[in-house]
């Protein structure tokens, strides 16, 4: 096949049984389970184990996995010391990529990745997965304190994954409703087939690179505004609009200028992103429970979505997961530049599931190209040029 397809659009890059998308009907499956059912009934810990192992865990398996995650939350002081020497003005995604990449130096043991064949040490794969998943939210929460000149807050073993993250981030006992919303947000962002960051995982894993390096590559891909960085841009857009009454003029101006409306449209979905539907439902319930006394940007967002649906639905452009996630994070008191790090925390489950899957049947990625350069020509000495 020599046809060039920009962005590899529609080109299968791998075989996978981890997740699937029905874009025409707006359905996302994790291991065959619709995302709506997992968001309603599951937890991030259980969903992660499902993604990693291919089946829902038993009660004992889930308890063991949760304990393993809890027991691996503490970060070595060498890592904290390194974080304290990073520029406080740096973006949290740059911090996260740097720190995660460094973890391989503090937690060695990837000897099974140095041969010509993929690693078959399942204990190493599982233990590394647990270490990465357990430490990423702690690193993100620690950075929020360190960059503001304070010592980080120690993790607690009596809190769930989402609860502990909010506790370490804010220093306060997490509101149960907000903790559940965070848990659902983590579930929704955990996996989404072969997106840009997951493809980065596959390419780097195929070389048998250290898993911390693999994760760092994925974080780098996720940091871009066309991928994980969009939810921060949504919040900035809503602040720029200022009020629901200005939504129509803003959208029409952007469309006339062929400019991006952040949080709208997705390459895979021809209808509304099912994750956006779930998040909007959470937002509406949250607003109702708080008696409408809530961030006014929620109303701006609903006005923007209504105008976009009127203008863009016929083109198959609807709200995606980024449109509402940043608003909910903002209501939790999370700074806008930390939104994408939360995406990375959640997506670590999917990334590591694909890392495992790639190692189980590995072949290094080596795509071809369509050459558009000069034909063969002779070298011209510098004196004759």
For the chain, the C-alpha Rg in angstroms (whole number) is 22
Active-site residue identified among 189, 192, 273, 322? 322
Q: Is 322 a catalytic residue?
A: yes
> H/E/C letters for each residue in the chain?
CCCCCHHHCCCCCCCCCCEEEECCCCEEEECCEEHHHHHHHCCHHHHHHHHHHCCCCCHHHHHHHHHHHHHCCCCCHHHHHHHHCCCCCCCHHHHHHHHHHHHHHHCCCCHHHCCCCCCCCHHHHHHHHHHHHHHHHHHHHHHHHHCCCCCCCCCCCCCCHHHHHHHHHHCCCCCHHHHHHHHHHHHHHCCCCCCHHHHHHHHHHHCCCCHHHHHHHHHHHHCCCCCCCHHHHHHHHHHHHCCHHHHHHHHHHHHHCCCCCCCECCCCCCCCCHHHHHHHHHHHHHHHHCCCCCCCHHHHHHHHHHHHHHHHHHHCCCECHHHHHHHHHHHCCCCHHHHHHHHHHHHHHHHHHHHHHHHHCCCCCCCCCCCCCCCCCCCCCHHHC
CB 255 within 8 A of CB 315: no
CB 194 within 8 A of CB 7: no
Tokens, residue 196: 């840009």
Q: Is 41 a catalytic residue?
A: no
Active-site residue identified among 266, 284, 289, 361? 266
Q: Which residues are catalytic?
A: 266, 322
């Amino acid at each position: 096949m020599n046809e060039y397809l920009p962005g590899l659009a529609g080109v299968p890059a791998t075989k996978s049984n981890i997740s699937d998308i029905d874009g025409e009907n707006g359905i996302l499956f994790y291991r065959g389970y619709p995302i709506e059912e997992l968001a309603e009934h599951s937890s991030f810990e259980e969903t992660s184990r499902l993604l990693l192992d291919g089946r829902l865990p038993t009660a004992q398996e889930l308890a063991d996995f949760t304990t393993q995650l809890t027991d691996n939350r503490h970060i070595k002081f060498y890592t904290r010391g390194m974080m304290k020497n990073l520029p406080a003005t740096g973006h949290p995604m740059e911090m996260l990529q740097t720190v995660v990449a460094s973890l391989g130096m503090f937690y060695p043991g990837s000897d099974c990745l140095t041969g010509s064949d993929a690693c078959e040490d399942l204990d190493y794969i599982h233990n590394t997965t647990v270490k990465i998943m357990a430490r990423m939210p702690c690193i993100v929460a620690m950075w929020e304190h360190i960059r503001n000149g304070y010592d980080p807050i120690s993790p607690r073993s009596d809190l769930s994954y989402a609860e502990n993250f909010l506790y370490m981030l804010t220093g306060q006992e997490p509101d149960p409703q907000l903790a559940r919303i965070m848990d659902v947000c983590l579930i929704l962002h955990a996996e989404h087939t072969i997106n840009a960051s997951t493809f980065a995982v596959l390419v780097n894993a195929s070389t048998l690179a250290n898993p911390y390096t693999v994760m760092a590559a994925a974080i780098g891909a996720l940091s871009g505004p066309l991928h994980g960085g969009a939810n921060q841009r949504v919040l900035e857009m809503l602040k720029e609009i200022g009020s629901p009454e200005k939504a129509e003029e803003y959208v029409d101006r952007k469309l006339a200028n062929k400019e991006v409306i952040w949080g709208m449209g997705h390459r895979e979905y021809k209808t509304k992103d099912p994750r956006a539907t779930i998040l909007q439902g959470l937002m509406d319930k949250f607003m109702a429970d708080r008696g409408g006394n809530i961030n006014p940007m929620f109303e701006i967002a609903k006005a923007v979505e209504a105008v976009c649906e009127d203008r863009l639905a016929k083109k198959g452009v609807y709200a995606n997961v980024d449109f509402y996630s940043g608003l909910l994070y903002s209501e939790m008191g999370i700074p806008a530049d930390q939104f994408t790090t939360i995406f990375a925390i959640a997506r670590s489950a999917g990334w590591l599931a694909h890392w495992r899957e790639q190692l189980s049947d590995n072949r290094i990625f080596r795509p071809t190209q369509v050459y558009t350069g000069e034909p063969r020509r002779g070298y011209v000495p510098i004196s004759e040029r």
